[in-house]
């Protein structure tokens, strides 16, 4: 077992033990919010970090997942396991619709196209009142409940079951990222990120791989969006807001794009740093913007990249002394 897997298992063990020691629902709630952010950041990381396509419409997929789950649960009373899957599926479907034409575009054109698609989807969520109930959103999304063929199902009525479900989603996302990074597909992603033309010239079907990354990202964003709609019992066009995309982009960039640890570190920082530093509510986004800006100028490979750099330099220094 590698050190990396061991660290991962240890961290998940710790996270799983938290609810046993923490009774305060506020802390559990913060933990759930953090895990939603982690999954969102990791889902964007497939697109932004691995194949390096600058998607600026990611929040739209999170919102589509949420709306799908809300509409199916409220209007058709479908069980939550089905609405969660449907949220992920429909979001992936939109990923296909958006990705298929856009991923043929290069660089800034792709970013602008996703920005436009995101804006259109938000307009639809706001204006298609018959289905989405318009700008006020849809309250009363029922809580998640597990079916029980022999009696009453188990309804998620406290934070604790949500906490564990979120943890399962985080574990799933991390596992996919980890497996992918060490696979042929993952190496193809990185090759595309480094140099599309070169990747194409050695026989990598770049469009296909970009599509895989985009679908993976949108499906996971839809899943966690659906989860959050059930958890908060609410969905509104705000879930598709560009600022949410920006939050996700910030998490991926300040943590370190194209790594497993980076987006997690980024999500932790974005979730907790304003609390720890007691940044006033109205300056919170200013603060994120500044952090993002400083990170781009001084640490373009993020915190994980910075740590690796320092570690690498130490290593080099040690070897230098030995020689």
Q: For binding to another protein (CB under 8 A), which residues are involved?
A: 54, 101-102, 104-109, 111-113, 115-117, 119-120, 123-124, 127, 242-243, 246, 249-250, 253, 282-286, 288-290, 292-293, 296-297, 300
Percent helix, percent strand, percent coil in the chain, to nearest 5 = 80, 0, 20
Are 240 and 125 contacting, i.e. CB atoms less than 8 angstroms apart?
yes
Pairing of strands 234-235, 154-155: unpaired
Shortest distance in whole angstroms from residue 49 CB to another protein? 12
Shortest distance in whole angstroms from residue 296 CB to another protein? 5
Tokens representing 182? Answer: 């060490």
Shortest distance in whole angstroms from residue 226 CB to another protein? 25
Are 58 and 221 contacting, i.e. CB atoms less than 8 angstroms apart?
yes
- State how far the Cα of 85 lies from the Cα of 73, in Å rounded to an integer: 12
Q: Give the nearer residue to another protein in terms of CB position, either 290 or 310.
A: 290
Q: Give the nearer residue to another protein in terms of CB position, either 162 or 288.
A: 288
Shortest distance in whole angstroms from residue 107 CB to another protein? 6
- State how far the Cα of 81 lies from the Cα of 96, in Å rounded to an integer: 23
Q: Give the nearer residue to another protein in terms of CB position, either 72 or 191.
A: 191
Q: Give the nearer residue to another protein in terms of CB position, either 175 or 243.
A: 243
Are 251 and 263 contacting, i.e. CB atoms less than 8 angstroms apart?
yes
Shortest distance in whole angstroms from residue 37 CB to another protein? 17
- The angle that helices 242-255 and 107-127 make with each other, rounded to 10 degrees, is 140
- State how far the Cα of 254 lies from the Cα of 304, in Å rounded to an integer: 9
Determine the Cα angle at 273 with ends 250 and 226, to 5°.
55
Q: Give the nearer residue to another protein in terms of CB position, either 171 or 279.
A: 279
- State how far the Cα of 228 lies from the Cα of 126, in Å rounded to an integer: 19
Shortest distance in whole angstroms from residue 134 CB to another protein? 10
Q: Give the nearer residue to another protein in terms of CB position, either 115 or 307.
A: 115
């Amino acid at each position: 077992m590698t050190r990396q897997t061991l660290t991962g298992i240890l961290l998940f063990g710790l996270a799983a033990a938290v609810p046993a020691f923490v009774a305060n629902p506020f802390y559990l709630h913060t933990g759930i919010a953090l895990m939603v952010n982690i999954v969102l950041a990791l889902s964007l990381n497939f697109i932004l970090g691995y194949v390096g396509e600058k998607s600026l419409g990611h929040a739209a997929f999170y919102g589509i997942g949420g709306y799908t789950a809300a509409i199916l649960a409220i209007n058709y009373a479908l069980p939550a396991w089905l609405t969660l899957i449907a949220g992920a599926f429909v979001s992936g479907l939109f990923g296909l619709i958006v990705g298929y034409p856009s991923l043929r575009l290069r660089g800034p054109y792709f970013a602008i196209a996703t920005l436009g698609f995101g804006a259109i989807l938000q307009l639809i969520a706001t204006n298609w009142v018959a289905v989405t109930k318009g700008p006020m959103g849809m309250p009363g999304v029922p809580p998640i409940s597990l079916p029980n063929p022999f009696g009453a199902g188990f309804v998620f009525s406290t934070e604790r079951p949500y906490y564990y479900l979120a943890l399962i989603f985080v574990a799933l996302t991390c596992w996919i990222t980890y497996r992918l990074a060490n696979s042929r597909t993952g190496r193809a992603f990185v090759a595309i990120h480094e140099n599309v033309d070169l990747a194409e010239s050695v026989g990598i079907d770049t469009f296909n791989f970009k599509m895989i990354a985009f679908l993976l990202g949108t499906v996971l964003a839809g899943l966690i969006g659906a989860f959050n709609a059930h958890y908060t019992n609410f969905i509104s066009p705000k879930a598709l807001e560009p600022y949410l995309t920006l939050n996700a982009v910030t998490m991926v960039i300040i943590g370190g794009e194209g790594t497993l640890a980076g987006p997690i570190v980024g999500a932790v920082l974005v979730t907790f740093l304003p609390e720890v530093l007691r940044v006033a509510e109205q300056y919170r986004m200013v603060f994120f913007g500044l952090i993002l800006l400083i990170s781009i100028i001084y640490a373009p490979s993020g915190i994980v990249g910075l740590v690796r750099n320092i570690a690498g330099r130490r290593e080099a220094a040690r070897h230098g002394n030995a020689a």
